[in-house]
Amino acid sequence: MKKKSIIALSLLLLGVIALVFYRIDQNKKKEEKNSGGFASGNRSGAKVFGKVIFGQPFSDYISLSGSIEANEQVDIHPEIGGIIESINFNEGSQVSQGQVLVRINDAELRAQLAQAKTRNELSAENERRAKLLLEKEAISQEEYDIASADYRTAQSQIQLIQAQLDKTVVKAPFSGVIGLRNISKGSYISSTISIARLVNTAQVKLLFAIPEKYAYMVAKNKPVHFTVQGYDVAYTAKIYATEPSIEANTRTLLVRAIAENPSNNLIPGAFANVTFPLEDVEKGLLVPAEALIPIQNGKKLFVVKNGKAKEVLVETGGRTAADVLVTKGIYEGDTVLTSGVMSLRDGSAVEVNLR
């Protein structure tokens, strides 16, 4: 009986061992099958789209932000204080150079002028008499000099009061559009109060800053193009002046150009999108914008090398509506991957469909 138990246990143990080896063998075959399938998938590679890059003519440029300034602009202030007697302009109207804008009450100054003229007449007569007496040696030279000085002082007083009178009439220093007035007839005005703002917009100035590395390309009379919000028209301005030095904080050069504004569509203070032409590239390498991937240090893209995706750091220049000029990193004839690039890694196997 004991012998039969031992045989039974031995058979049971052999069965368990056989079952274990069977499961191990099945798992191994399954792993090999999965491994083989995965390897086959790798050999086929990820399906992506690409484009062979060839050089083509391209006019390079950079886009900058700018602002519109008036050709001439001034806040008009009187030179003396007084009561406003008349206002001779309409808000928002066109005024001409030399046109009278405001008159300040000058009654007191005119009275002073009449008084000064009377004194001048008396001083002139005294000087004439003193001169006759000096010729007859009836008075000394010193006495004549005093009379002559009084006469010249009286003349200077007339000139001073006349200058004050002229300041009671405020005129437009140049032609332009006058803005909203800050005064009313009959109110008191001083030299610190602004009457209104006068702006000449027959021409406007375009102010923008260009990066230091392009500063050497700025030249007098060089045309630049710009647009403003609300209008689909591209305007042209010509550079006429720059700052003499690079701004240390921004590493940019401040540039000013001038543009004609016959329709008065360009309003001072408006934002402008400026297109600054750089150079004409005979064989520019243009890649689709979607091929570029922004990274911390710039931009990168993928090219195909021996059936694998190769990561390349690139430098870019100007762009069109759909393409970007690559100035460094790729060469003519390279195949650039244009879609499905976000999931790629350097060295990934790829299957490329050319567009």
Residue 89: both structure tokens together: 């302009």
Q: Is the pLDDT of residue 39 over 50?
A: no
Q: Is the pLDDT of residue 350 over 90?
A: no
* Runs of H (alpha helix) within the chain: 2-44, 107-135, 141-166
Phi, psi of 121 (to 5 degrees): -65, -45
Q: What percentage of the chain carries pLDDT values higher than 90?
A: 61
Write down the pLDDT at residue 355.
76
Write down the pLDDT at residue 189.
94
Task: Provide the residue type at 336 as one letter.
Answer: V
Q: How do residues 198-222 score in pLDDT, each as one tens digit?
A: 999 999 999 999 999 899 999 999 9
Q: How do residues 187-196 score in pLDDT, each as one tens digit?
A: 999 999 999 9
Q: How far is CA 40 from the centre of its chain?
A: 56
The model scores a pTM over 0.85:
no
| DSSP conformation class of 233 | P
Gap between the Cα atoms of 50 and 44, Å rounded: 16
Gap between the Cα atoms of 83 and 311, Å rounded: 77
Residue 301: both structure tokens together: 């893209």
Q: Domains along the chain? A: 47-59+281-354 (2.40.420.20), 64-70+199-280 (2.40.30.170), 78-104+169-194 (2.40.50.100), 106-167 (1.10.287.470)
Write down the pLDDT at residue 11.
66
Write down the pLDDT at residue 307.
87
Write down the pLDDT at residue 186.
94
Q: Is the pLDDT of residue 153 over 70?
A: yes
Residue 337: both structure tokens together: 């991957």
Gap between the Cα atoms of 137 and 131, Å rounded: 10
- In order of 165, 189, 191, the CA distances from 85 in angstroms are 14, 11, 16
Q: Are strands 169-171 and 196-211 parallel, antiparallel or unpaired?
A: unpaired
Q: How do residues 223-277 score in pLDDT, each as one tens digit?
A: 999 999 988 889 999 999 999 999 999 999 999 999 999 888 999 999 999 999 8
**Long-range CB contact pairs, 183-186, < 8 A, 24+:** 183/84, 183/87, 183/102, 184/84, 184/87, 185/84, 185/85, 185/86, 185/87, 186/83, 186/84
Q: How do residues 286-337 score in pLDDT, each as one tens digit?
A: 999 898 989 888 899 999 998 888 999 998 877 887 888 898 999 999 999 9
Q: What percentage of the chain carries pLDDT values higher than 70?
A: 88
Residue 177 burial class via C-beta count within 10 angstroms: exposed 0-12, middle 13-18, buried 19 and up = middle
